[in-house]
Copies of this chain bind each other. A is one copy, B any other.
Amino acid sequence: MATTVVTGAAAIRSGLLPPVGCVTETADFAGAELPGLDALVFGGHDIAGAAPMAKRAEELARAGVVPPWSPAAVAGELEDADAEIRVGLVAGEPGTLREQADRLIADLVSFRERRDLERVVVVNVASTEPPFPRRPEHADLGALESALAASGDALPPSSVYAYAALRAGCPYIDFTPSTGVRLPALDELARRMGVPYAGSDAKTGETLVKTALAPMFAARALAVRAWSGTNLLGGGDGATLADPQASRSKKISKDRSLTEILGHRVEGETHIDYVRPMGEWKTAWDHVLFEGFGGVQMTLQFTWQGCDSALAAPLVLDLARLAARAHETGESGPLTALGFFFKDPIGVREHRLALQYELLCEWAARLGARA
């Protein structure tokens, strides 16, 4: 998806593609004083041995995710981004967590200074991690700092990235369901550093549609009796989720929405199946059994067929721009108005898509009104 972000952004900046899918390019955000797409510079961390972006872009073009002409058309920008990718952090790496964090902080600061950037927003788009057990040292910053020095397994990589970002004064976004910034100790750090953050797990498929539809049942006093879903997906993310541990993280974040919107747990299972030949495509089929007047049972089914990266990539741009502007205007802590983008929004319980959008627009208006 990272490659899709860079390729698409470059093509839009060059006027080769319209900004379809970019929420922040619509009229509702015209007055929010966001940084222009032109103003963005891309860099990142990836694990050692990852293929260069130019190669990945070719693969995406063959799979129909980015236009066939685009890898060549934006080759310069891909090379430029590639040059800013540093070796990332993986679970079980030697050294203390502090040493690991320091390395990441140095990368972030160096990127900001070398490229003369006003600020850097860190977006976690790495592979989903399994759920990470809560520990006492997650509860407050002091305890966490001690743990960083002493031991190598107090945090999963996603949280070390989050720690490093906040310490470096960079807004941090959890695009995945990994633990990341979602720890009391890191919230404390964010507030202390005056840095905003948001997450987690971008909603781009089944949950997006669910949070558009579920409020309809609630508003119409129709009683949802069971909501069942099956997700078929290929691609790198699909392969990761074929591991039941990783897919457990995903299911937990997917299920929360329905419970919040309908006010009670609803029967029904959610399956996530890795179907390798689907490549970058994902299909979700949902079956909703509901009861109406007189106890009559009725159903709604939907099938969503989407291209994973095409759905997610523009949101990375949106989130980076919105977080940058929030930082600029002095916000810190969880950006609850970004709940619109996430399956499992941090710091807010509103899951109804339309109302999340209203909150986002109102906040964007306030962002624009500030100095």
Which residues of A does B touch, CB under 8 Å? 4, 7-8, 11, 17, 19-23, 25-26, 61-62, 64-68, 70, 208-209, 212-213, 215-216, 219-223, 225-226, 228, 230, 232, 267-269, 271, 273, 275-278, 283, 285, 287, 289, 291-307, 310-311, 313-314, 340, 352-355, 357-358
Contact between B313 and A293 (Cβ–Cβ < 8 Å)?
yes
Contact between B277 and A20 (Cβ–Cβ < 8 Å)?
no
Bound Cα distance from A67 to B287, whole angstroms: 24
Task: Using CB atoms, name the residue of chain B closest to A298.
Answer: B306
Task: Using CB atoms, name the residue of chain B closest to A352.
Answer: B354
Contacts of A223 in B (CB 8 A): 20
Contact between B219 and A294 (Cβ–Cβ < 8 Å)?
no
Most buried by B among A208, A216, A294: A294
**Contacts A283-B287, A353-B216 hold; do A293 and B314 have CB atoms under 8 A apart?**
yes
Task: Using CB atoms, name the residue of chain B closest to A357.
Answer: B219
**Contacts A212-B213, A212-B215, A354-B219 hold; do A285 and B305 have CB atoms under 8 A apart?**
no
**Contacts A277-B289, A311-B293 hold; do A302 and B301 have CB atoms under 8 A apart?**
yes
Task: Using CB atoms, name the residue of chain B closest to A25.
Answer: B221
Q: With A20-B293, A212-B212 given, name 13 new contacts (CB 8 A).
A: A4-B294, A17-B294, A21-B222, A21-B294, A70-B294, A219-B354, A226-B278, A277-B291, A283-B299, A294-B313, A298-B306, A300-B304, A354-B355
Contact between B232 and A220 (Cβ–Cβ < 8 Å)?
no
Contact between A305 and B294 (Cβ–Cβ < 8 Å)?
no
Bound Cα distance from A275 to B227, whole angstroms: 9
A228 to chain B, nearest CB (A): 5
Contacts of A230 in B (CB 8 A): 228, 230, 271, 285, 287
A339 to chain B, nearest CB (A): 13
